[in-house]
Structure 1
Amino acid sequence: MAMVSPLLPCAVMALVVSVLPSQSVAGDPDLLQDICVADLTSGVKVNGFACKATVTEDDFYFKGLGAAGNTNNTYGSVVTGANVEKVPGLNTLGVSMSRIDYAPGGLNAPHTHPRATEMVFVLEGALDVGFITTGNKLISKTITAGDVFVFPRGLVHFQKNNGHGPASVISAFNSQFPGTQSLAMTLFGATPAVPNNVLTKAFQVGTKEVEKIKSRLAPKKA
């Protein structure tokens, strides 16, 4: 009688497992309700906001992107978000937008969006934009009205208006709440503060330089 290889049962089991749906794709891949308007007053948050019982058309409406924002600040740029906090009807839908306005010379300082890829459409003006890969390569381009540029999820990126007039873009995100981490504010404006000896070693500068940067990024007192 032919001998059955002891490896055969293992091979069969591996084949069966390979064709079964994994945990990541098993179950319901889509939403189980038409809408889930965010209850922003609820303390319950499970990868999003709890759904509120009574909804209106205003939960799906926002007109804040139609007008330019005030760019009179340190960086000369301002972001007007249309995320789930402004449009509760976006809850569970995985999309959001924002408008960014830039004064001449204005900068949207290097930052990341940990939960989303960003695509910008230039409304007016010209911008120098770029992102840095994890291999420390800068991918940059000058974009003008009508152009589109993409910043991959989680990568450090920036936009700079080097023109003589104002500029603006509309940004689209594949997240209802993409999140933003500004590198400068994250490192020099954190609460509690990142220890000076960490920053001096990381940036190879002295304590006075670190303190100077921290003082400039400290929240303004009312």
Structure 2
Amino acid sequence: MIHILLIISSLFTFSAHAAVQDFCVADLKAPESPAGFSCKPAANVTVDDFVSTGLRLAGSTDNIIKAAVTPEFAAQFPGVNGLGISIARLDLAPGGVVPMHTHPGGSELLLVTQGFIEAGFISSANAVYVKTLKKGDIMVFPQGLLHFQVNAGGVAAVAFASFSSAAPGLQITDFALFANDLPSSLVETTTFLPIEVVKKLKAVLGGSVDDFVSSSLNFAANTSNIINAAVTPAFSAQLPGVNGLEISISRLDLAPNGVIPMHTHPGGSKLLLVTQGVIRAGFISSANKVCIKTLKKGDIMVFPQGLLHFQLNAGGVPAVAFASFSSASPGLQITDFALFANDLPSSLVEKTTFLDNATVRKLKAVLGGTG
């Protein structure tokens, strides 16, 4: 009898211990590892850990793909952690598409509950399996294979996707290639896409067109203009990687007789490095002191923020210089263009300078201004 009681007692002890292993509710406050989340202490687990209302409402389809995926993976639904299962809701507006994508961590089973969805996947042997699904239909997508879903009707479509993993992952092919800072040249090299297509898709999908690298200053700009000169900026608008870093650069090309007219950079100081030809440069201080120097290849000159300054070609050959700035967006205001290349009334220009009205009108005509 004693032996029987000991056996029964040990079974109860084992069962109590096993009950703790029934689940591993994710402790979302702890870091996630490749093996998943740590287990929440069993004493702190409640029924709400195993229930979610997150799929009741449609996700917003007001986006470029006219679709929304609302996941209930371990990170959103702690109760599925470690159980090898999860779910997501798909909402597709008319014309909506969940683009070609994979789930590296699990297979998917799709149940259509509203509308019509054309869905398919591509096998490792490049065989294609496509079907138009209606309400009540299901389709399975093997783990890791490229697949898609497209709204095949004129009304909103809804489906629920179950997964064989609590964290199946999601990698949308187009976003992986074009919505990040993977260099365009590498995308071109590792696909059959031409560079212009890669850059176009990066621009559409919000990826960086090489955020931290630019080749825009490699070539001389066109100096066939009224000043026989050109400035090619690489400020934050052209080189996103400098944004917030308080630094930027531009290239100056000056044909013989070229000039960068009197101008200011309201947002930053400038340091000029001459790399070709001879450039005469200078600035005017707030005390009207003039600092002028003729610079040759290898010379540098600094221009304090906001002060009027200029550069002109002082030789008979094209000159090139590179200007670094203490701002990612230093701005540029060329004095003559500010006064005469817009619709500021000539009478106001006359009153606020020492120029007569005839001179103002003549310069407006030359520089394309009106008024």
Alignment TM class, shorter chain as reference = 0.7 to 0.9
RMSD, aligned α-carbons: 2.0
The equivalent residue for 1:83 is: 73
1:14-53 residue pairs with structure 2 within 5 A?
33-43=21-31, 45=33, 47-53=35-41
TM-score by length of 1: 0.79
Give the whole-Å Cα distance in 2 for the aligned partners of 1:142 and 1:159.
9
Q: 2:104 aligns with which of 89, 100, 114?
A: 114
Give the whole-Å Cα distance in 2 for the aligned partners of 1:162 and 1:196.
33
Q: 1:127 aligns with which of 117, 130, 133?
A: 117
Give the whole-Å Cα distance in 2 for the aligned partners of 1:171 and 1:62.
15
Cα contact 2:132–2:152 (8 A) shared by 1: no
Q: 1:160 aligns with which of 141, 150, 154?
A: 150
Q: 1:210 aligns with which of 178, 198, 205?
A: 198
Give the whole-Å Cα distance in 2 for the aligned partners of 1:157 and 1:115.
14
Return the structure number with greater strand share.
Answer: 2
* Unmatched tracts of structure 1, length 5 or more: 1-29
Amino acid at match of 2:79: G
Give the whole-Å Cα distance in 1 for the aligned partners of 2:73 and 2:96.
23
C-alpha distance after superposition, 1:132-170 (max 9, x if no partner):
011112110111001000111100000001311110101
Give the whole-Å Cα distance in 2 for the aligned partners of 1:166 and 1:46.
36
Indicate the structure (1 or 2) with the bigger Cα radius of gyration.
Answer: 2
The equivalent residue for 1:7 is: none
Q: Secondary structure at the match of 2:204?
A: helix
Q: How far is 1:201 from its partner?
A: 3.4
Q: How far is 1:32 from its partner?
A: 7.1
Give the whole-Å Cα distance in 1 for the aligned partners of 2:193 and 2:36.
41
Give the whole-Å Cα distance in 2 for the aligned partners of 1:154 and 1:57.
33
Q: How far is 1:189 from its partner?
A: 1.9
The equivalent residue for 2:133 is: 143
TM-score by length of 2: 0.48
Q: Percent identity?
A: 39
Give the whole-Å Cα distance in 2 for the aligned partners of 1:147 and 1:44.
35
The structure showing larger relative contact order (alpha-carbon pairs under 8 Å, at least 6 residues apart) is 1
Q: How far is 1:102 from its partner?
A: 0.3
Q: 1:95 aligns with which of 74, 78, 85?
A: 85
Q: How far is 1:199 from its partner?
A: 1.9
Give the whole-Å Cα distance in 1 for the aligned partners of 2:172 and 2:38.
28
